[in-house]
Amino acid sequence: MNPATASLYELLKQVTGYIYPNEIEVHWGILVVVYPYLTGLVAGAFILASLVKVFNVKELQPVYRLSLLTALAFIIIAPLPLLLHLGHPERSYEIFLTPNFTSAMAMFGFVYAWYLMVVLLLEIWFTYRRDIIIWSQGEKSVMRWIHKVISLFSTDTSEKSVEFDKKAVKAITIIGIPSAFLLHGYVGFIFGSIKANPWWSSVLMPIVFLFSAIVSGIALVILLYMILTPLRGEKISIGCLDKMASYLFYAVIVDFSLELLDFIHRLYESEESIKILSELVMNRLFISLGVIQVMLGMLLPLGVMICIKLFRFDEELRKLLYFVSVILIQLGIFATRWNVVIGGQMFSKSFRGLTAYKMELTGFEGFFMTLVLLILPFIVLSILIKILPPWDRSVERSLGERIA
């Protein structure tokens, strides 16, 4: 017997009530929790970056490039958990070659390719083009060639070309915002469109996904900014931090309102599934939903941020509170993904019983693999930062010298 099947006997003991016999296996495990978490960070980080270019929020300039690189690093890793969870990853190319157009999942290839190729790579290229050319001129050997290749052997650093870059970036960002909405809204639609599952089936699902994405993305960039800036021996711009926290605050409020609306709506309508869903929330999801997602991940940071708005704490205390809040929010959003994906499979579609989920330690669907997948984007990000430093001022300096 295969070991995965053997472990199902263990789960059998934890089933309460009646479940259809095929339902014992939780089909979408931890890897499918990681996937929407990662794409959410992509969409959120990009939307934060676009605030700078489209809405001209000057305070956020210090994190503009960092946000873009973060989005790129995470989108490169995002499809990995999906690929690993497939029964036949070697056939995954079929999604691109013979997509079934009525399937939300089949659109994955197109949405992903569009977002990566048309939006992120182009925007980063236009943003960095002039800098890369200048960097490559002052470098030696490997790095020089890497930059030359990345710049696609462009050599024009004239004012006119830089002006064009700026226009292009603006245009791409304008296309990019709806694309970011599409990227994560679409992930929400994958769940929200399953009418067989009352925990998922909700028109609000794509919107809730989107706003929780924005929340997690902004929180991640704040965290990265707060860690990386002191590491480089620079001072954190409190103006930038306050502004980001402010956007985070509004995003959390919208996200919280949407989830509250969803909750009240379900409770008020009290459809056939309400009994089993209440049982699900009170038994299986009490810690991950009640405690981690709502209390620690949402209400506590929200309370902290309200306090920061109400009382003018001094800079150091504010930084500390922001730091704690964004970590809690990150934890909360991960719990949100868990509660949607795993929670939606822990009750039977007969509405008569609950099953259980036990994460393995090792193996593809295991805890260690999850850790690797969550750490990988940061490794990619550190490589990207090495190649495309988001805070390098040498370009401005060298330009200044040239003018002098």
Partner 1 sequence: MKRRKFIERSLVMLAQFGVMGGIFRRAKAELKDYDPSKHYYGMGIQINKCIGCGKCVEACKAENGVPKEPFFFRTWVERYVIKKDNGVTVQSIDPRIERSYEAFAEKDILRSFFVPKLCNQCENPPCVQVCPVGATFKTADGVILVDADRCIGCRYCIQACPYGARYLNPETETADKCTFCYHRITKGLLPACVEVCPTQARIFGDVKSNASPLARFKRMNKIHVLKPSLNTEPKVTYSDLDGEVR
Site residues (vs partner 1, CB under 8 A): 1-2, 4-5, 8, 12, 18-25, 27-28, 85-89, 91-92, 94-95, 98-100, 102-106, 108, 190, 193-197, 345, 348-352
Nearer residue to partner 1 within complex by CB, 10 or 234: 10
Report CA-CA distances (Å) from 327 to 220, 331, 383.
Answer: 8, 6, 23
Is the CB of 92 or the CB of 157 nearer to partner 1? Answer: 92
Q: Which is nearer to partner 1, 195 or 312 (CB)?
A: 195
What is the smallest separation between the CB atom of 102 and partner 1, expressed in angstroms?
5
CB of residue 204 vs partner 1: minimum separation in angstroms? 19
Q: How far is the CB of 6 from partner 1 (least distance, A)?
A: 9
Q: In terms of CB distance, is 39 or 348 closer to partner 1?
A: 348
Stretch (H or E) spanning 395: helix 394-403
Closest to partner 1 by CB, 4 vs 117, is 4
Count of beta carbons in the 10 Å neighbourhood of residue 10: 10
Q: Nearest distance from residue 3's CB to partner 1, in Å?
A: 10
The structure tokens listed for 376 are 């990988």
Smallest separation (angstroms) from partner 1 to the CB of 186? 13
Smallest gap from residue 331 Cβ to partner 1 (A): 26
By beta-carbon proximity to partner 1, the closer residue of 212 and 348 is 348
How many CB atoms lie under 10 A from the CB of residue 151?
20
Distance, in Å, from the CA atom of 233 to the CA atom of 321, rounded to the nearest integer, reads: 21
* Cβ closest to partner 1, residue 99 vs residue 366: 99
Smallest gap from residue 272 Cβ to partner 1 (A): 8
H or E, element range at 388: none
Q: How far, CA to CA in Å, does 65 sit from each of 51, 224, 372?
A: 12, 12, 25
DSSP state of 364: T
Long-range contacts of residues 165-173, Cβ cutoff 8 Å, at least 24 apart: 165/126, 165/127, 165/129, 165/130, 168/122, 168/126, 169/53, 169/123, 169/126, 169/127, 170/53, 170/54, 172/118, 172/119, 172/122, 172/123, 172/126, 173/49, 173/50, 173/53, 173/54, 173/123
